């Protein structure tokens, strides 16, 4: 099974809407490790690592976010594999 990491910036109404906590729930459900953190410019930065199959599902979720979020754009960059042990909110 191919393992990949993706680095994303999510913009829109993504802070104050439980985006990071919801991303953590989704990641744990899909056996994905990494982190999500708020940025001072209002975006959320996400690093996620897991199977290529599950990363497709997680990326699709990032484009919708939790119920109260309004996603304007999600940048996507594939990264070198990092063996992380959990998904954290920073």
**Active-site residue, from 20, 31, 54, 67:** 20
- Annotation marks residue 20 as catalytic: yes
Contact 68, 17 (CB under 8 A): yes
13's tokens: 């109404």
- Annotation marks residue 54 as catalytic: no
State the CB neighbour count (10 A cutoff) for residue 84.
16
**Active-site residue, from 29, 31, 38, 54:** 38
52 SS3 class: helix
Q: In the chain, where does DSSP find H-type helix?
A: 19-29, 52-62
Q: Which residues are catalytic?
A: 20, 38
């Amino acid at each position: 099974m191919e393992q990949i990491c993706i680095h994303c910036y999510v913009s829109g109404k993504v802070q104050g809407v439980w985006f990071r906590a919801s991303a953590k729930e989704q990641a744990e459900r899909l056996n994905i490790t990494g982190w999500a953190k708020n940025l001072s410019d209002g975006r959320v930065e996400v690093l996620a690592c897991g199977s290529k199959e599950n990363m497709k599902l997680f990326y699709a979720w990032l484009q919708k976010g939790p119920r109260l979020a309004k996603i304007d754009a999600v940048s996507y960059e594939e990264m070198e594999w990092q063996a992380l042990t959990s998904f954290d909110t920073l």
